[in-house]
A = this chain, B = another copy of it.
């Protein structure tokens, strides 16, 4: 049995063939057509899926389901994208449209949720409660309870990055102030780094940023590893923001496992050690098993594998 997972992004559509064990066997991607109707995007997804199947040499009859991870808000009942700013969809019945070409069970998921489910398949299946946190442009979240994506009552749940970390703090793109993502996203780290460079032009970060032509999420980490004191402070404070938000999620969900993804997760133990220490010290649970915190393993393939798994759950 095979399952197709599709990761629909603003730039690329990636489709992969996944086996029963969640292993990605073959994948392909194409550019996402821009300024087109959703029907054109769906047609592209169908074509790409069929190409993945034929290139791998599988039989279409052995494909049991398709899962699609899509940026934006999903209407689960209708199988439609209620709204996506990234791929310009509004009330788009993607499931129905896909099934016009290929009559197969189709699961439609938010892309962050699909990626969370992918990481769960890769490293969390022992967890009854599993939380995935993506530190990227924003702070994305996904919560898997008993193997299923927690979507809230209306499909829009698990917006962990939009919980408050600093009451009346920095303004967030969502319209609220002080969201966790204003302090713990990669974007936030870049801003924190820029502010530190401005205040302390003597910091090694200035030199590193100049060499690379810009400040990015690695600037402070790289300088900190070379013992630059200002950079060390920036990293320490940033990780404290990340960890404080994780403590909240731990106190709320008491997950068995928290997985951190996004570019910053490449720092591995360098970020995990202080985050684990902080959570161990400050979480509310002093009696029971402690949560395991680790970095993501699948990275870019998480969306495909998770979407495929969501499709598999339909059958």
Seen from chain A, the residues whose Cβ lies within 8 Å of a Cβ on chain B are 73, 75, 82-83, 127-129, 141, 145, 150-160, 162-167, 169, 174-176, 183, 241, 244-245, 247-249, 251-256, 281-285, 287-289
Contact = CB atoms under 8 A, between A and B. Distances in A.
Contacts of A284: 156, 159, 162, 174, 176
A61 to B, nearest CB: 35
5 contacts: A129-B153, A152-B253, A157-B252, A159-B285, A166-B166
A252 B160 contact: yes
Contacts of A169: 167
Contacts of A244: 164, 167
Contacts of A255: 152-153
Identical copies of this chain, number: 2
A245 B163 CA distance: 8
Given A163-B163, A167-B165, A282-B175, A83 B156 contact: no
Contacts of A163: 163, 248-249, 251-252
A73 B289 CA distance: 12
Most buried by B among A164, A253, A256: A164
A85 to B, nearest CB: 11
